[in-house]
Structure 1
Amino acid sequence: MHEPPTMLLTEFRGQFDRAAFTERLQLVIQANPWLAGRLRRTQDKGVVVTCPESCDTERHFFSLADIGLRIDCQQYSEMVSKLMAYSIPDGSQSVDKDQVLFTVLHTETGDGKFAIITSLCHCIGDGFTAYRIFGMLSHNQPVESLDAVRIPNFQRAVDAAIGPVAQAFMTSPWFIAGSLASCLRWSPFSCGLACVRPEWVEDAKKGHDATSGVPFLSTNDILTAHLCDKFDAAGATMVINFRERLEPATRNHAGNYESLAVFDERCKNPAEVRRLMMNPPDFSGGMIQMPGIMDMLAFRYPLITNWLSIQQDLCLPSCQQVVHLPIYKMAGPFFAVGVVFKPNPGKIAVLYGIRDSKCFKALQESAALDHSAPLVQ
């Protein structure tokens, strides 16, 4: 209920066809009326989404000539702060109110360019859902109706897949106290955005010992371990999409079917990250025993999320993509956050935020990241 909305931004160069885009948006919402729904509290204190009989697209689409937004990857935090004024609130602020849960913003960004920014309330969809809708807005992709009815008892299956130790860890009062204290103990987040050096990743793959019991290393394994190492992490929480991993959830299910798997200090070893990912849907091997109280209070457990496998492009007629970015406000009870994504086809980038100045400097000097390489094309 308190998670911020998933915001996705793509900047384009070309002539924006507002009428065609509005028509496309109308088709997407008609096929997925839950996008036009509202959050309502039930008698048993639960929250449901009510769908309207008809939808006014104008409540979901805003075209603003110029809000002063300039896409500058070196000024990411300032750019995000400006966009927060146009974001939808989190679910806790939307219950029993006439508050839309999905919006699309079009605005000029200067020099003949413009941006499309989508916002989806996390209560009705996770990152995978946000990208499925995002992709449908493309003129060359089919519009599909996603199943927004929650699979009964699915969370029980997720809890079993993550394992009892991880469940006990994330609900421990010591872990919760450490997460809340991190906001007071550490400095505000420092954010960085950089391209990944492909040659560095390839060298890491070639240097892998195939006799270790792990047949290969993926790009995600390598980058997850590298981020955890530079974060000086005691462990990590990693976002796992359980669609196609736990039946009967498939890519056609909208909603929240992602959850956090927990990893101990082995998260710094890419081979151990790969080992954890080799036996889906069983992720219980990530944390074998509970950390000590002092470790939980120290709270050096970053949140790592990889968008490479779920990301979809937004294609508009007669327009060229300049850059794609996750709009992520670095705040809340986290020690550090790492997001792996594609700013453009053929490029991989990392968005990171951390409260520890020494770790931030280590990432700025990382051989894996090229902070001088442009994310735009």
Structure 2
Amino acid sequence: MVLEPISTITWVDSIDETLLRDRVQKMVSLNPWLTGRFVQDAKDGVIQLGYNNDTTAPEDTSSCAELIHSVEDPALGAYGYQETKSYTKLMTLVEPYLLKPGLDLKQQQFWKLVIVKPNLLIVSMTHALGDGASYYTLFQMLITGNIEAVPIERIFGALQEEKVKLLGGEQEANLISNWGYLVCFMRGLITSNLIAPWWPRAERATARFFLVDPKVIQTIKQDAKKDDVPFVSTNDILASWFFKETNLGYATLVVNLRERLPQLPERNRMGNYQDVIFYRVPKDVATPALVRKSVQGMKRTVTHEQPIVAPCPGQIGAIVMGTPSKLQGVSVAAPFEVQEDEPFMMV
């Protein structure tokens, strides 16, 4: 709940608002929890997802009214992606339309759509509802996919035991909670958000916006066929490029655990079922093919026998004082019959 929401901004030629509202209503009819709220048990304080099954009648549109909004915002509406040179400026304009992180249960809806006339669609989902895979399950239903009921019940079970097997041992499976990684993560968080605003020379995170050229991506995919992998994805290509260009010491890539663990056979189950693969940069990410192999095998390809964190002051120091990066996901899509070079931005 305290994490930033998963959100996308999509520029399109035009938006059929009636069609969009109809699809939202059908989605709610099969998934009434979309109109729910976080509720807290008065006895034990546990926060749960609460919703009303009586709001799912197809002819009842009141349950969807708060999910989708249509607004006129001249500043944002005129901000075409070709003029998007400042990510910070764009986020300032978009921020009022995104779901807010935090523990205020009174305002916590799960999923929100905003049409900014004439041709901008903003979709935002709280991370408490699910991860990136969950987000795109809903997004595809909204745009082009089949509308269906998706599993929402949480699975806790023996996921940790199975995850350890999948990732190749306790050390790899628990790196995300290692004290060295946490110290480094917190150092960056404190520096960027608390110190940097008051001290201009302090190190801080830099946000930038990039346009992806589909022709370049396609060329790289064709060239990768000689690298002993069945294919490379756009995400593999951009991950390899990003990690190398930023001159990182190590990096993490978030991966989806669905259909990899016995307890998670459904591709569309809602929830946060993901983990990370750690890389040494640049060896483990030198090519998109190496990233693809790591995702398939759930471990870095080149240095998998070398621990990221070892009982060695130098190695621990590299984690604590090094430069990290975490790549959530990069997506390029073409909903609403948009132009070939239309960007699909995940924020």
Is 2:156 the partner of 1:125? Answer: no
Asked if 1 retains the 8 angstrom alpha-carbon contact of 2:334 and 2:342, the reply is no
Flag the structure with higher helix content.
2
Alpha-carbon deviation of 1:136? 1.7
Change in CA separation of 1:205 and 1:221 when aligned onto 2, cut-off 3 Å: farther
Give the fraction of aligned pairs with identical amino acids, expressed as a percent. Answer: 18
1:300–1:97 Cα change, 3 Å: same
What's the counterpart of residue 93 of structure 1? 103
Q: Does 1:296 align with 2:316?
A: no
Residue 218 (structure 1) aligned with residue 224 (structure 2): no
The 3 A distance-change label for structure 1 pair 217 and 167 is same
For structure 1, the 5+ residue unaligned runs are 329-377
Distance 2:246 2:225 in 1: 22
Quote the Cα distance in structure 2 between the aligned partners of 1:159 and 1:39. 31
CA contact (8 A) 1:135 1:313 kept: no
**CA apart distance, 1:97:** 2.4
* Residue 150, structure 1, aligned to residue 154, structure 2: yes
- Cα offset for 1:262? 1.9
Residue in structure 2 matching 1:283, options 262, 281, 299: 299
Contact 2:256 2:274 (C-alpha < 8 Å) held by counterparts: yes
Give TM-score, length-normalised by structure 1: 0.72
Q: Is 1:3 aligned to residue 3 of structure 2?
A: yes
> In the TM superposition, what whole-angstrom CA distance separates every residue of 1:295-338 from its partner, at most 9, and x where no partner exists?
11124221124445xx665338xx8798343242xxxxxxxxxx
Task: Give yes or no for the alignment of 1:65 onto 2:65.
Answer: no
Contact 2:252 2:277 in 1 (8 A): yes
Cα distance change on mapping 1:103 and 1:20 into 2, 3 Å: same
CA contact (8 A) 2:8 2:124 kept: yes
- After TM superposition, give the deviation of residue 198 of structure 1 in Å: 4.2
Q: 1:267 deviation in Å?
A: 2.7
Q: Distance in 2 between matches of 1:234 and 1:56?
A: 49
Structure 1 pair 142–223 and aligned structure 2 pair: CA distance change class (3 A): closer
Matched, 1:257 2:265: no
2:203 corresponds to which of 178, 186, 198 = 186
Asked if the contact 1:151–1:249 (Cα under 8 Å) also holds between the matched residues in 2, the reply is no
Q: Which moved more, 1:59-68 or 1:269-278?
A: 269-278
Aligned position for 2:335: 314
The count of corresponding residues between Structure 1 and Structure 2 is 311
1:240 is the counterpart of 2:262? no
Distance 1:293-1:250 versus aligned 2 partners, 3 A rule: same
Alignment CA distance shift 1:23-1:165 (3 Å): same
CA RMSD of aligned residues (A): 3.1
Residue of structure 2 equivalent to 1:75: 86
Deviation at 1:187, TM superposition (A): 3.0
Counterpart of 1:373?
Answer: none
Counterpart of 1:231 in structure 2: which amino acid? Answer: T
The answer to whether structure 1 residue 103 and structure 2 residue 112 are counterparts is yes
TM-score norm. by structure 2 comes to 0.77
Cα distance, 1:154 vs. partner? 5.7
Whether contact under 8 Å (2:211, 2:343) holds in the other structure is no
- Describe the SS at the equivalent of 1:25: helix
Contact 2:229 2:292 in 1 (8 A): no
Q: State how far apart, in whole Å, the 2-side matches of 1:74 and 1:22 are.
A: 32
| Counterpart contact for 2:224–2:231, Cα < 8 Å | no
Q: How many Å separate the matches in 1 of 2:340 and 2:12?
A: 4
Q: Distance in 2 between matches of 1:46 and 1:8?
A: 30
SS class of match (2:85) = helix
